[in-house]
Amino acid sequence: MARAILIADDNLSIRRVLRSALENVGECSICGEAENGATAIDKVKELHPDLVILDFSMPVLNGLEVLRALKRLRPTMPVILFTMFKDRHLEAEAFAAGASVVISKAAGIDTLIEQTRVLLKYSKPC
């Protein structure tokens, strides 16, 4: 059974690339997309994904604000912070807010897919 993933990134091109790459991973299905932080929270409430891939820099609410809200709503749901702005300070804040993993977009899609598989394998269905 495919596990549902929500992609939250303000860049349409990145959402399309992630959707395409993740849909080719047999155990994944994309249940929705969000272009800003507030929409991401609404989509999680509506769609109940098994995992969220979350950008840090988004309009309305940034990734850390969204992460904190998601962890209040669904504390066990894995969240990957996928960002261009990875540094030690942001990484520490993200983990404190409840991120499962922080991945730099520069690390590439293969790293994201690998971490997605690991998290979905070891997380309980939400």
User: What is the model's pLDDT at position 87?
Assistant: 85
> Using CA atoms, how far apart are residues 49 and 98, in angstroms rounded to an integer?
16
Q: Which of 126, 16, 29, 19 is nearest to 79 (CA)?
A: 126
Which tens digits make up the pLDDT trace of 11-39?
A: 999 999 999 999 887 778 999 999 999 99
pTM: 0.93
- Which CATH architecture does the domain made up of 3-122 adopt? 3-Layer(aba) Sandwich (3.40)
Percent of the chain with pLDDT over 70: 95
**Domain extents in the chain:** 3-122
